[in-house]
Amino acid sequence: MTATPGSGRPDGSVSPARAAAWHALRRVRSGGGRFDDSLAAFPELERLSERDRALANELVVGTVKRRGSLDAVLGAFTKAPLADTDAEVLDALRLAAFQLLFLDRVPAYAVVDDAVALTARKGKRTQGFVNAVLRNVAEDGRESFATLSDGEGARAWAVRHSSPVWLVKLLRRELGDDAAERFLVAADGAPERCLRVNTLKADVPAARAALAAAGLATTGVPGLPAALVYDGPALERSAPFRDGLVTPQSQGSQVAGVVAAAGVGPGATILDLCAAPGTKTAQLAAAAPGARITAVDSDELRLEVMRQNLDRLGVHGVEIVQSDVLELPAAFDGAFDAVLLDAPCSGLGTLASRADLRWRRREADIARLAQLQRRLIRRAARCVRPSGVLTYAVCTLPQAETLGVVETLLAEGGWQADDLGAAWPGMGHPAAGGYLLVLPPERGASGFFVARLRRIAGAEG
């Protein structure tokens, strides 16, 4: 892989996909972009051809995920600290370095020339700097990456898997090296494309036929009869999605919904807390027909999205309440047979689908969120009637937000934990097998913790 010196194409043009990706990266940095399956929040990508849009999508997600690896290699070829580099120039350097280090489809000279052209308004001196750094990356970058990422130290892992050192240390300490490395490899890969068949509108064979007609190939998921992994165009643009036959939902999220609905019969009362945008609410409605469901969330905008989702999926009769969980009315106390608390969390199980999350989270967030989660689970517990169940779920992995929260409630008395590990072989938490820890890549690309607690009859609330 070699690059030729230059200052961009003679006419100053840049590949449409790379230009759009660079503008999208600038939007991410300014806080104006979000990541989802279609990158719909980036209008720069929407104007591209289908082929260029796919490439730009790959470039944006890959550059953001691999920022740690890219910065380590780029830093090896710059004299001044990389943090001192102009932000727009750094975006161009990272974008080009990602292609040079992790993709093989584009000639190195084209990648370098486009990066030089993107920084034209910064002046010739900056263009010369960009050209020189990227020529070195093209020539020696992969060797540098191999050297920097070699070894078993936390910093080598952080370069190899493009993750903050604190996160690497936490995962290795709590999961062990093998599981931590498998998780980090999955986090650097493609996000999970999993859906749930909405059995209120279609059975699985009918939904698969409709998806196939829309160009989406599907594969079943063992242990989750309504789950399908899919491949093809964006699900949200398909007729089966618009018609409410299917909805995106990760395997881990579906496990949580199945656990929460288990044993709930007609006429039972279910409380879904922190419910918006309604993914699990709809799952509960399909899994427990005849149950009376109340869904609570504090965010009116998210509740409106929830109403739209429930309407699309044909879910009717759900009582929707706008409230902070910590401020629920006293009438909720002891009123529900089953409560699901999908609590706000660090989201570290979703690194594959939320490309920028690893760089936005801080280690201090874990303790702060765990404190909130302990308050939330206590309030949720008060809503459960004697012999009722409380399901606690979070799309994250740290023990402070998972085992620590559940065991705090158990220690206060009046509750016992159901043995979920026995019902879900291979998914038991390595440190406490009665709880579930859904870990990539064995179960998709999203990590989830699920516990179900049963209120002891006669125990005081």
- Whether residues 229 and 326 share a domain: the answer is no
- Whether residues 259 and 239 share a domain: the answer is no
Q: Is residue 287 part of a domain?
A: yes
- Whether residues 388 and 244 share a domain: the answer is no
Residue 336, beta-bridge partner list? 384
- Whether residues 96 and 198 share a domain: the answer is no
Residue 246, beta-bridge partner list? 197
Instruction: Write down which residue in 210, 233, 248 finishes a domain.
Output: 248
Query: 53: domain CATH number?
Result: 1.10.940.10
Query: What six digits make up the tokens of 192?
Result: 């999970």
- Whether residues 260 and 294 share a domain: the answer is yes
Are 282 and 313 spatial neighbours (Cβ–Cβ below 8 Å)?
Answer: yes
- Whether residues 24 and 133 share a domain: the answer is yes
Q: Is residue 206 part of a domain?
A: yes
The domain containing residue 23 runs over which residues? 16-148
Which regions in the chain score pLDDT beneath 70?
1-12, 32-41, 459-461
- Whether residues 220 and 320 share a domain: the answer is no
- Whether residues 113 and 224 share a domain: the answer is no
Q: Is residue 372 part of a domain?
A: yes
Query: 337: domain CATH number?
Result: 3.40.50.150
Q: Is residue 5 part of a domain?
A: no
SS3 for the chain is CCCCCCCCCCCCCCCHHHHHHHHHHHHHHHCCCCCCCCCCCCHHHHCCCHHHHHHHHHHHHHHHHCHHHHHHHHHCCCCCCHHHCCHHHHHHHHHHHHHHHHCCCCCHHHHHHHHHHHCHHHCHHHHHHHHHHHHHHHHHHHHHHHHHCCCCCHHHHHHHHCCCHHHHHHHHHHHCHHHHHHHHHHHCCCCCCEEEECCCCCCHHHHHHHHHHCCCEEEEECCEEEEEEEECCCHHHCHHHHCCCEEECCHHHHHHHHHHHCCCCCCCEEEEECCCCCHHHHHHHHHCCCCEEEEEECCHHHHHHHHHHHHHCCCCCCEEEECCHHHCCHHHCCCEEEEEEECCCCCHHHCCCCCCHHHHCCHHHHHHHHHHHHHHHHHHHHCEEEEEEEEEEECCCCHHHCHHHHHHHHHCCCEEECCHHHHCCCCEECCEEEEEEECCCCCCCCCEEEEEEEECCCCCC
- Whether residues 215 and 289 share a domain: the answer is no
- pLDDT tens per residue, range 348-365: 999 999 989 999 999 999
**Integer CA distances (angstroms), 16 to 103, 162, 339, 357, in order:** 17, 27, 50, 27
Are 332 and 383 spatial neighbours (Cβ–Cβ below 8 Å)?
Answer: yes
Instruction: Write down which residue in 88, 121, 148 finishes a domain.
Output: 148
- Whether residues 121 and 24 share a domain: the answer is yes
Q: Compute the distance between CA of residue 391 and CA of residue 338 in angstroms, rounded to an integer.
A: 8
Instruction: Write down which residue in 248, 282, 315 finishes a domain.
Output: 248
- Whether residues 244 and 255 share a domain: the answer is no
- pLDDT tens per residue, range 33-85: 666 544 456 777 888 898 898 899 899 999 999 999 999 999 999 988 988 99
- Whether residues 415 and 283 share a domain: the answer is yes
Q: Is residue 159 part of a domain?
A: no
Query: 244: domain CATH number?
Result: 3.30.70.1170
Show which residues are catalytic.
395
Q: Is residue 170 part of a domain?
A: no
**What is the per-residue pLDDT for 39?**
47
**What is the per-residue pLDDT for 308?**
97
Q: Is residue 6 part of a domain?
A: no
- pLDDT tens per residue, range 376-395: 999 999 999 999 999 999 99
How many structural domains is the chain composed of? Answer: 3
Q: Is residue 95 part of a domain?
A: yes
